[in-house]
Amino acid sequence: MLASLIATWFVLVHLAVFGHGAAVPAVISDPLPAYIARHLGPYSPWYAAGEYLAPPSSCELEQANILQRHGARFPTANAGKKYAASVAKLRENATSLSAALQFVRSYTYALGADQLTPLGAQQSREAGVEAYKRYKGLVTRSGKLPFVRSDSQQRVVDSAGNWTAGFFQQLGEKHASTVLVLSNASGSNDTLDDNNCPSAPDLSGFEQSYLATFLSDAAARLDAAAPGAHLTPTDALNFMQICGFESQYTQRLSPWCKLFSRQEFVAGEYYYDLDKYYGNGLGNPLGPVQGVGYVNELLSRLTGDRSYVLFDETQVNQTLARSQATFPLGSRAPALFADFSHDNEIASIVAAIGLKKPAEALPAGGPPEGEGEQVWVTSEIVPFSGRLVTERLSCDGEDYVRFLINDQLQVPTFCAGADVRTGLCRLDDFVASQSYARASGNGDYLKCGYKPLSG
């Protein structure tokens, strides 16, 4: 009976046991040089932004909460149409093409859309292997397998599946696990979805005005190399993005990459910083509120107190939150949680917590100058497979938390009395610091014009 109950709530993803015909891609090496790969914002392949430091020796790890973005994907269907249109301008309207653009004559834009790529599957799996190595003690001591949830989009579900496969491959072939896929039925509340605030203001003017400056030279250069095509900075950006996607997919350097200088790629990062900061981060008045549901789930898990999720009036699904089967808490709960989501949602969650908070709002003209001023760097926060990990530790009998973003230890400036060196924040202080989430975003969610999700 329990099984049938669970089956109505869960989508059971039975994981293939490795070595029995599951498709394991050959080892993939990344052909992009670092000056490209690390400045593609949310389209950067995963890389560690820092070196993972073991907790201080006086502390024992008690719980870990992994919030991870899906792995590398193809361009969205919408972006793919724009890329194809920019390529068509060159092919159909240019009266001549310079030597650097000759490849376009025999080029067709033919990338897939929306789904995970083999690299994305592999990096998700590698993340599962790494999580096992780092956190296996949590599984052995609690005697509980990790609790895994996913947003319902296919690429996210596939990332969760590949992560879990990597984790269980290490744990031993007898184990299998399930992924709780949050419903995308119309009207569903999904704390891992990234599309719950239709009324959030569109502040894309920030990145658009920066785009007009940082790629104006490149656009003029390309336009001169293809008279008649009338290329704009937006076309140039599209070609830069094709470079990133195509190279990650084919594992060969795409010919589009050679059209831009190192400086242009490096400057490109700030376009994505503005995009995420003003799109879903602190720069948007309705950015952080979109992360509140997950923050309340995190508070409940860290404290073992269900009231945070039960009082949430944003995206928490109350049906799931009330049940120990779908939202396990306390001494009988697992000690390792893994949730799979999207870049925009993670950007909102990072902002809601108060992590990666710049001293001042990001200027539209160009990156803030000065050492240590660039706090919000999108490719360091939400590259493909990007992850925010919240660890709970017991140090000398007191509970603490610390935060890692892509392995980089964070200084929790929002936490009273945080230790700058160890990144440790007392759990009580963390809970106190999250007053915005505990108050369901002080009414901000009501301004979102909540729209039931389309199926």
Ligand X SMILES: *[C@@H]1O[C@H](CO)[C@@H](O)[C@H](O)[C@H]1NC(C)=O
- Is the CB of residue 403 less than 8 Å from the CB of residue 412? yes
Based on the residue annotation, tell me whether 343 is a catalytic residue of this protein.
yes
Q: Does 235 bind ligand X (CB under 6 A)?
A: no
The rounded Cα 137 to chain-centroid distance in angstroms is: 26
Contacts of 199 (CB under 8 A, 6+ apart): 286, 447, 448, 449
Q: In this structure, are residues 44 and 38 in contact, taking their beta carbons and an 8 Å threshold?
A: yes
Q: Nearest residue to ligand X, using CB?
A: 161
SS3 224: helix
Residue 44: what are its φ and ψ, rounded to 5°? -75, 140
Asked if residue 345 binds ligand X (CB under 6 A), the reply is no
- 313 vs 428, which CB is nearer to ligand X? 313
Of residues 277-336, those binding ligand X (CB under 6 A): 313-314, 317-320
Closest CB 215 distance from ligand X, rounded Å: 18
In terms of C-beta density within 10 A (0-12 exposed, 13-18 middle, 19 or more buried), how is residue 92 classed? exposed
Q: Report if residue 165 touches ligand X, rule: CB under 6 A.
A: yes
Q: Is 232 in the site for ligand X (CB under 6 A)?
A: no
Tokens of residue 274, six digits: 């503005």
Question: Does 11 interact with ligand X (rule: CB under 6 A)?
Answer: yes
Q: Which is nearer to ligand X, 293 or 423 (CB)?
A: 293
**Applying CB under 6 A, which part among 9-17, 237-245, 403-411, 431-439 lies near ligand X?**
9-17
DSSP state of 259: G
Q: What DSSP element (H or E) covers 181? A: strand 179-181
Residues paired with 180 in a beta bridge: 149
70 is catalytic: yes
Question: 193, 194, 275, 343: which one is catalytic?
Answer: 343
Told to check if 344 binds ligand X by CB under 6 A, we report no
Q: How many other CB atoms are found less than 10 A from the CB of residue 8? A: 6
Total of residues contacting ligand X (CB under 6 A): 30
Please state the closest distance from residue 188 (CB atom) to ligand X, in A: 3
Which of the stretches 128-136, 180-188, 231-239, 370-378 binds ligand X when contact is defined by CB under 6 A?
A: 180-188
Binds ligand X (CB under 6 A): choice among 19, 54, 92, 370:
92
SS3 294: helix
Q: How far apart are the first and last CA of the chain?
A: 28
Q: What is the closest distance, in whole angstroms, from the C-beta atom of residue 306 to ligand X in the complex?
A: 14
Distance CA 71, CA 50 (A): 19
Site for ligand X in 39-78 (CB under 6 A): none
Q: Is 153 in the site for ligand X (CB under 6 A)?
A: yes
189 lies in the binding site for ligand X (CB under 6 A): yes
Does residue 90 bind ligand X (CB under 6 A)?
A: no
5 sits near ligand X (criterion: CB under 6 A): no
Q: Is 232 helix (H, G, I), strand (E, B) or coil?
A: coil
Q: Which two tokens stand for residue 194?
A: 């990234």
Residues near ligand X, by CB under 6 A: 9, 11, 15-16, 88-89, 92-93, 116, 121, 152-154, 158, 161-162, 165, 181, 183-185, 187-189, 313-314, 317-320
- Residues that are catalytic: 70, 343
